[in-house]
Homo-oligomer: A and B are copies of this chain.
Amino acid sequence: MNIGLLGFGTVGTGVYEIINKRKDFFRSLIGKDLNINKVLVKDTTKDRNINISKDKLIDNPYFILDDPNIDIVIEAIGGTAEAYAYIKHALTTGKHVITANKAVVAKHMKELMDLANKNKKAFLYEASVGGGVPIIKPLKQQVTLNDIEEIKSILNGTSNFILSKMIREDLEFTDALHIAQELGYAEADPTDDIEGYDVRRKLAILSTIAFKREVKEEYIHCRGIRTIKSVDTKVIKELGYTVKLLAKASFKSNKYYLSVEPSLLPDDSFYAKVENANNLISIIGNDIGELKFYGQGAGKFPTANAVVSDVLDILYNNYQNYGIDEGTYKLCNNTDLVKDRYYVRLSPKHTLSDYVLKVVKEEKIADKIIKTGDHIIFTTGNIELKKINSFINNVKESIKDEFYAAIQ
């Protein structure tokens, strides 16, 4: 069994180190050494702080993808276009493929699984959702015996770090973001994390498995956390809640509800205890009830551990490729199905405070007004997401900004 490793960054080196560390175990399992024969890097001459012979390092991916001696390709370069092309090439030439690349999996899951199934090879992606938390495989297993009714998850370390920091230290969003960037929790361009796009990819993957339909990212209603202010977190705390970027999916009467949005969770809930880069994934099945999975959603060794667990499944010949139903995915009107209570802050433009408050009262949208003046803060009764969205849209011209979040 020979492995070709595409990429030698954090995850790639982690995979290399774990496989080396467990050398004896793999030898006893397959009767010979498990080799990482070739590693794709950008610069083969660069000095690396890792014990690897330089002749393993290559800078042409096709030395791996077209090498008949390579059985398993591990894609750890990230990005989308190239990673997708390499994965497809590897599966086409009859190799097993493992990836941690959620963007590629979310976008091309069905096509790549079909290709793997056709060639009777594995296409595995345990590390693409939840980092070190084993969730893809347990979910595939539960799906065979359960109708999955609901998924509710915290899946993004960056936004969770920022929100934890804001809540604990009464910081403004931009300050918390800067700290996250300094500590390496957020990238220079944090868009994917704070706008919810990263979570949306992960929810697309989980929902596709859970509901046995191809759930595309664009089916998922997505709102990020960029407009939250310390005035929000203060009120949220006073109300006995915390705030999280929550991924939610439910399937009822053949209709789907899929959303990523800021959500208020009671202070004494499991969700409220999930700090920093940890992830929590809850699934509800009709027979099994609620299961929760918790662990490190990112980090070198947790993520690499998930990748190597996929290697193990290939060695054990234990990789039933989950086949997505051929039935067309029925796109529901997302915002029709589920009603939530909402926390809403509207910050009116100069001199418009009285006017905005009047609209709030006339529209009868608030069930409790908490604050008026520069920031009008209220909670609603149970209301459809499309109604709250359309209300916000109607007052948009009169306000500087707003923040709203579903109350769970």
Q: In chain A, residues 1-49, which have Cβ atoms closer than 8 Å to a Cβ of chain B?
A: 18, 22, 25
Q: With a CB–CB cut-off of 8 A, which chain B residues contact A145?
A: 18, 22, 25, 305, 308-309, 312
Check A296 against B289 for contact (C-beta < 8 Å). yes
Interfacial residues, chain A to chain B (CB-CB below 8 A): 18, 22, 25, 132-134, 138, 141-142, 144-146, 268-270, 273, 285, 287-296, 299, 301-302, 304-305, 308-309, 312, 316-318, 320
A364–B290 Cα gap in the complex (Å)?
47
Check A295 against B287 for contact (C-beta < 8 Å). no
**9 smallest beta-carbon distances between A and B, as pairs:** A292-B294, A287-B301, A291-B295, A289-B296, A318-B318, A287-B305, A288-B305, A132-B288, A270-B273
Q: With a CB–CB cut-off of 8 A, which chain B residues contact A292?
A: 292-295
Check A294 against B291 for contact (C-beta < 8 Å). yes
A309–B138 Cα gap in the complex (Å)?
10
Q: A134-B141, A273-B269 are in contact. Are A288 and B302 (CB under 8 A)?
A: yes
Q: With a CB–CB cut-off of 8 A, which chain B residues contact A320?
A: 316, 318
Check B144 against A312 for contact (C-beta < 8 Å). yes
Check B301 against A290 for contact (C-beta < 8 Å). no
Q: With a CB–CB cut-off of 8 A, which chain B residues contact A22?
A: 144-145
Which single residue of chain B is at the shortest CB-CB distance from A306?
Answer: B288
Question: Which of B141, B291, B301 is close to A288, meaning CB atoms less than 8 Å apart?
Answer: B301
Q: With a CB–CB cut-off of 8 A, which chain B residues contact A290?
A: 294-296
A346–B227 Cα gap in the complex (Å)?
55
A273–B271 Cα gap in the complex (Å)?
10
